[in-house]
Amino acid sequence: QVQLVESGGGLVQAGGSLRLSCAASGIIFSLNGVGWYRQGPGKQRELVATISISGRTNYADSVKGRFTISRDNAKNAVYLQMNNLKPEDKAVYYCNADITTAGDYVLRNYWGQGTQVTVSS
């Protein structure tokens, strides 16, 4: 069974930094497009950043210049470096990935369980 597990969340003061990690486990043929999403209190889940298998990135306007998404294909891992955090960044952060397994090579979409980020002011 393929799983995505996020880590690195926590409590940080405004202006501080956190680095989130998302590790994919299972028998994986290819980890394709990956995205970080977040859901704040009383809000809908929104896209934060995406990265393609070749490394092309896109960011939500609210995080441009502050967040950086990256990946390590050899480790089947994705990261989100968050700098200059603001109180409005408080949310549960989820990783999402399109993955083909070594068994049937069919592309499927997976969600992690999320990691909490809290920013104090």
Average pLDDT of adjacent 10-residue blocks, the chain of 121 residues: 94 98 90 95 96 95 98 93 98 96 86 97 90
Beta pairing partners, 59: 49
The pLDDT score that the predictor gives to residue 57 is 98
- Strands 18-25 and 3-7 turn out to be antiparallel
Can you point out the beta strands (E) in 27-90? 28-39, 46-51, 57-59, 67-72, 77-82
Q: What is the DSSP letter of 54?
A: T
Residues 6+ apart with CB under 8 A from 108: 2, 98, 99, 100, 101
State the distance between the two ends of the chain, measured CA to CA, in whole angstroms. 40
State the residue for tokens 């299972």: 26
Instruction: Look at residue 64 in the predicted model and tell me its pLDDT.
Output: 98
What pLDDT score was predicted for residue 3?
A: 93
Measuring CA to CA, which residue among 90, 97, 88 is closest to residue 31?
Answer: 97
Which tokens belong to 50?
A: 């995406």
Say if CB 110 and CB 96 are below 8 A apart. yes
